[in-house]
Structure 1
Amino acid sequence: MSESPVSIAILVYPETTASVVYGMLDLFRSAGRDWPVVTEGRPGPELMRPWLVARETGALEICNGARLFPECRLDDCPPADIVCVPEVSLPPDAPLAGRYAPEIAWLGARYADGALLATACSGAMLLAEAGLLDGCEATTHWAWCEALAERFPRVRVQPRRALVASGAGQRLVMAGGGTSWMDLALYLIARSVGLEAAMQVARVNLIDWHQVGQQPFARLASTRQVEDAVIARCQVWIAEHYVEPNPVSAMVGLSGLAERTFKRRFRQATGMAPLEYVQALRLEEAKQMLETTDNPIEAVANEAGYEDAGYFSRLFRRQVGLTPGQYRRRFGALRQTLAAAGMA
């Protein structure tokens, strides 16, 4: 365990949220300090020293009208053991080139100095822009994974994983979407000041590790494209007819194209093979039914277009990372709670 507090610079910019920035800061501050408060009635020593860094100091307005107050400028920031990069709250197709040039240059310099760089959610895009992820495994928010893979083909994107440590000495650490920033904070605490400190922070704050990854939380990210009108018409049709038998053959017929040509153009337009697209639509419908109904798994499979419930369960487990029953227990709990309160 480190004798002096581990120094952590949290990079901030207008396109981020206070919950992630201050959430990470709170967990880092908690390490070593709060467990003795709960168990012994006195604070323990703070094991980590986080601060906020930005292009300029002073009030910084970020997403949702919140304000942050960075403590130091990029140019004046003291050396840090760890640099954390929160999410970039922009659409996945938003161009980033040139938008964060000072931050990207600063990240590259900190990495060269030996710091560990850790990103939450779409913050991984800044590491990719800096060229630090070339040849490395990486993850980001599930809705950004496709954009990361397309823009940076040398990056080995791992969309199912909620946490990836990569690069030389595993000094590039990336968390997936949403609250997986908590996983990131716990990992950094465990790695820098000890596993027990991380477990104590998790216990005090009631944090569950996202061991199933982020795929169970993902939705079909590919929206209907409009560049290829023939394929777009087929997408509209399949959205209403995905339960029909032989849907790919039906789309081929609807398109008027040769089967090989249709499959090539479909993949080119959507990024997915036709059957893969159909399976994704069916599984999204199954997710909705598992979340909102008490229908037996066999009935859910049938309504989603699968006559063989066993095959459906195996496919669901392979694609989602949970069995249908596990998914229902995890994501149907909110509905059940609201129903018990007469709100659903």
Structure 2
Amino acid sequence: MNRQQPARVAILAMPETSASVVYGMYDMFMSAGRDWKLIVDGQPGTPVILPQVVSRHGDCFVAANNVKITPDAPLAACMSADVICVPELMVAPGESLDGRFQEEIACLQSCYAAGKLLATACSGAILLAEAGLLNGQEATTHWAYCDVMTRRYPLVKVRTQRALVASGEGQRLIMAGGGTSWLDLALYLVARLTSIEIAMQTARLNLVDWHDIGQQPFARLARTRQAEDALIARCQTWIADHYAEPAPVAAMVQLSGIAERSFKRRFQHATGMSPLEYVHTLRLEEAKQMLESGALPVEAIANQVGYEDPGFFSRLFRRHVCLTPAQYRKRFGTMRSALEMRR
């Protein structure tokens, strides 16, 4: 890239994207190099990144959150950009993409072949997977889509815990995880396209807090949605109310009326998780709620969700959530209290 000229970033907008991410990225890129000097010197600096919003035909459309988006150019403009950013796709996890986004996918394939950098936010990484660009590569996406990506694209090395992943030849495939981790993506791109100092100035101006803990603490029960297998669904319904009981997996096996080995294999196929992993997930999610909303000691919470050994519970919690129970309570309990006070 010619650093003597502003970097050019194309933000790919579709009816399935939300305007907040599209224009949030746009504002962040336009701020780089311009707004810090305005604050410090009283005069705006020269923008170091020039973003533009592109869409399939360049025509206005209404985004997924009912906001009108007015693109600057059609897809062809991506070929003159240095970076193509894909915001999230507001489609249900597992929803078929057959026949959709074909033109966008072809554009991404051509741009990558031409040596351009591709960056995605949230579920936008699904388009890179559909394009075959992530085969054999590390990747991340919104936590609710990680299991879907793992099953649908088995050649992709999905890193569920990480909020930002750079992979591919020359690390030209950049993916951010869920929610506001698009801010991390934008800052990373500012640093990569310009300098770390400009990225830090942009972060200070916009009060951006880097998601250094990844996205596991935010994950909820996306992986536990009801299975289509009626027998397994009946066990899911039962365990939702009995996860704290002793030997819950054995109880589900008995409820199913089939052999243990067959039950475990069938449960894994239906839910993507082993029965024990499923129980741990339910227990940990309940523990998160209790840590957020109450002041019970960690030992008492461990006992209430089904763990007799508080040490084992704490180690399991940290392994799955990437925070200790105490750290989780401090971060999210404080947040919940502040929100409740302002209701």
- Specify the TM-score bucket, using the shorter chain as the normaliser: over 0.9
Q: TM-score, normalised by structure 1?
A: 0.96
Q: How many residues align?
A: 342
Counterpart-to-counterpart distance in 2, 1:299 and 1:32: 51
Distance 1:244 1:126, change over 3 A: same
SS at match of 2:174: strand
1:91 aligns with 2:92: yes
Tell whether the 8 Å contact from 2:78 to 2:84 is kept in structure 1 after alignment.
no
Distance 1:221 1:83, change over 3 A: same
Q: What is the correspondence of 1:98-109 to structure 2 with a 5 Å cutoff? A: 98-109=99-110
The corresponding residue for 1:161 is: 162
1:196 aligns with 2:193: no
The corresponding residue for 1:64 is: 65
SS at match of 1:117: strand
The corresponding residue for 1:53 is: 54
The corresponding residue for 1:148 is: 149
Distance 1:45 1:75, change over 3 A: closer
Counterpart-to-counterpart distance in 2, 1:36 and 1:90: 40
Counterpart-to-counterpart distance in 1, 2:99 and 2:258: 42
Tell me the CA shift for residue 138 of structure 1. Answer: 0.5
Moved more, 304-313 or 70-79: 70-79
Counterpart-to-counterpart distance in 2, 1:26 and 1:141: 22
Instruction: Please give the root-mean-square deviation of Cα atoms over the aligned residues, in Å.
Output: 1.3
Counterpart-to-counterpart distance in 2, 1:85 and 1:76: 14
Letter in 2 for 1:14: P
The corresponding residue for 2:139 is: 138
1:37 aligns with 2:38: yes
1:276-315 Cα deviation digits (max 9, x unpaired): 0000000000011111111111111111111111111111
Q: What is the correspondence of 1:1-344 to structure 2 with a 5 Å cutoff? A: 2-77=3-78, 79-341=80-342, 343=343
Q: TM-score, normalised by structure 2?
A: 0.97
Tell whether the 8 Å contact from 2:126 to 2:149 is kept in structure 1 after alignment.
yes
Tell me the CA shift for residue 322 of structure 1. Answer: 0.5
Percentage of pairs with the same residue = 61
Tell me the CA shift for residue 185 of structure 1. Answer: 0.3
Counterpart-to-counterpart distance in 2, 1:321 and 1:77: 38
Counterpart-to-counterpart distance in 1, 2:338 and 2:78: 47
Letter in 2 for 1:32: G
Tell whether the 8 Å contact from 1:97 to 1:129 is kept in structure 2 after alignment.
no
Tell me the CA shift for residue 78 of structure 1. Answer: 5.0
Counterpart-to-counterpart distance in 1, 2:212 and 2:57: 38
Tell me the CA shift for residue 240 of structure 1. Answer: 0.5
Tell whether the 8 Å contact from 1:120 to 1:184 is kept in structure 2 after alignment.
yes
SS at match of 1:143: helix
Counterpart-to-counterpart distance in 2, 1:119 and 1:253: 45
Tell me the CA shift for residue 224 of structure 1. Answer: 4.1
Distance 1:339 1:122, change over 3 A: closer
SS at match of 2:223: coil
Counterpart-to-counterpart distance in 1, 2:153 and 2:79: 31
Counterpart-to-counterpart distance in 1, 2:78 and 2:315: 51
Counterpart-to-counterpart distance in 2, 1:90 and 1:123: 10
Counterpart-to-counterpart distance in 1, 2:251 and 2:335: 38
Gaps of 5+ in 1: none
Counterpart-to-counterpart distance in 2, 1:63 and 1:83: 20
SS at match of 1:7: strand
Tell me the CA shift for residue 76 of structure 1. Answer: 4.7
Moved more, 332-341 or 129-138: 332-341
